[in-house]
Amino acid sequence: MKLSILSYTLLMGLLLTQVACHHHDEEDTSNPVVTISSPASGASIAGAVSIQGMVTDNDLHAMSITVTDAAGTTLYAKQPSVHGKTEYSFSETWTPANLTAETPVTLVVEAEDHAGNKGNFTLNFSVKP
């Protein structure tokens, strides 16, 4: 009996989470707005890199912050929890490791809302050992 009550409780929790996560506003056609205030495009940075900005939308679902090198290798990745928020300010610090020379990198911040609309901001800068 305990097992069936526990199983039922877990199943209901999963179903409620699934339904809550899939709230869609069919009339929402606006993409999330992504801004990056740091680093500056084209900057050449030694040491720790400050990644700052904001994402806004009427119903955010997911977000990712990624830094890759020219070969497409991911050097930094983070997926902050933005589910259900209308704005999210981010301030991350990334300290590049194992660099032997100045390395060009690409920062991409992407956001998606519950209606499936997507917004992103991409900029290039370089990091020094």
CATH of 30-128, picked from 3.30.565.10, 2.60.40.10, 3.30.360.10, 3.20.20.140, is 2.60.40.10
Separation of alpha carbons 53 and 110, rounded Å: 12
CA dihedral 122, 112, 58, 23 (to 10 degrees): 180
pLDDT confidence of residue 25 = 59
**C-alpha pair distances (Å), 95 with each of 9, 13, 35:** 44, 39, 21
Domain boundaries, the chain: 30-128
Asked whether residue 15 carries a pLDDT value surpassing 60, the answer given is no
pLDDT 10s digits, 43-68 = 999 999 999 999 999 999 999 999 99
pLDDT confidence of residue 27 = 87
User: Does pTM surpass 0.85?
Assistant: no
